[in-house]
Amino acid sequence: MADTIKLATREAYGKALVELGEKNEKVVVVDADLAAATKTGMFKKAYPDRFFDAGIAECNMVNVAAGLSTVGFIPFASSFAMFVAGRAFEQVRNTVGYPHLNVKIGATHAGISVGEDGASHQCCEDIALMRTIPGMTIINPCDDVEARAAVFAAAETEGPFYLRFGRLALPRLNAEDYKFEIGKGVQLADGKDVTIIATGLMVNEALIAKDLLASEGISAKVINIHTIKPIDRDIIIEAAKSTGAIVTAEEASIIGGLGSAVTEVVCETVPVPVIRVGVEDKFGGSGPAVEMLKIYGLTAANIVEKAKAAIALKK
């Protein structure tokens, strides 16, 4: 870990937009009456003439962003993941994805860690939904440094992006000079017995799990997959070959999420045991974020258990 700073990735998103707005006057923000929560209110305060509130109307918001992109702007369309990926899926697919427009979707409050907002707001299906849209780039940062880098990379890259941010403050894992590359996984630790491939807030849990496994004499490789689409096939294949067993970890549904993406690569290339840690086939519930993560098994302890199970399945 670089240090003990803790910051929500949605907070880093808001700060990055302000910084980006100063450097590039083509950057605009469209929000769905949630600027205080999505942290785009920071951009609104700095650049009021480039901020547009679409009201509680995510479908319209996405269409407005699409229109802005056709006249040369770089729009960031922001709302909760549940609403922009769920409610506005048709518009994201047909109005942004199909014509491959230069729209960046800033989806905050993703996953179980929304906590007390409950199942109606805990979007765990968004990665699966966005993966089905051709040409959509999906980035799920693990800390504030990676979140900032993702925002800048999205603005500099033509095409539609889905940027997934969380509500819960996370420890900083990367140094400020961290080099971010779209589509490239990052190996955080080497190991020979099992590979833990994680994304988002589960990257920190993966690193804790590595240490717990080491105390039992088990050597774990840890990989951060921040770009879920296009996924880094090479780093996954190398991990499968070198350790012979994989555990994936994500704060999202294991159906169609990171676990599915990794399994697809492994099955097509180097078949080895893959066990997925994530939200299983169930809805969320209401409660403190940390407790919800424990209830749904999104913990280092569960990664350790699954890692041992994956090792046992080696031929």
pLDDT in tens, 123-150: 999 999 999 999 999 999 999 999 999 9
Query: End-to-end alpha-carbon separation of the chain, Å?
Result: 34
- Whether the per-residue pLDDT at 1 is higher than 70: the answer is no
Q: pLDDT value at position 115?
A: 87
Between helices 233-243 and 258-269, what is the axis angle to 10°?
70
Q: pLDDT value at position 315?
A: 73
Quote the CA–CA distance of 22 and 16 in Å, as a whole number: 10
pLDDT in tens, 175-223: 988 999 999 999 999 999 999 999 999 999 999 999 999 999 999 999 9
Which runs of E-coded beta strand occur in the chain? 6-8, 27-31, 51-53, 74-80, 104-108, 137-139, 161-164, 169-171, 186-189, 194-198, 220-224, 227-229, 246-253, 274-279
Higher pLDDT residue, 225 or 116? 225
Percentage of the chain modeled with pLDDT above 70? 99
Complete domains list, the chain, with CATH: 6-171 (3.40.50.970), 186-312 (3.40.50.920)
pLDDT in tens, 225-237: 999 999 999 999 9
Average pLDDT for the chain: 96
**Tokens linked to 172:** 């900083």
If phi > 0 it is left, if psi is from -120 to 50 it is alpha, else beta; for residue 55 that is left
Of the candidates 4, 1, 10, 5, the residue with the CA atom closest to the CA atom of residue 165: 10
**Tokens linked to 290:** 């940390």
Confidence of residue 169 (pLDDT cuts 50, 70, 90): very high
Confidence of residue 156 (pLDDT cuts 50, 70, 90): very high
pLDDT in tens, 260-287: 999 999 999 999 999 999 999 999 999 9
Mean pLDDT in residue range 72-89? 97
Active site members: 58
Q: Is pTM, for the whole model, over 0.75?
A: yes
Confidence of residue 25 (pLDDT cuts 50, 70, 90): very high
Q: Is the peptide bond before 230 cis (omega within 30 degrees of 0)?
A: yes
Q: pLDDT value at position 2?
A: 45
If phi > 0 it is left, if psi is from -120 to 50 it is alpha, else beta; for residue 2 that is alpha
- CB-count burial class (<10 Å; 0-12, 13-18, 19+) for 152: middle
pLDDT in tens, 26-65: 999 999 999 999 999 999 999 999 999 999 999 999 999 9
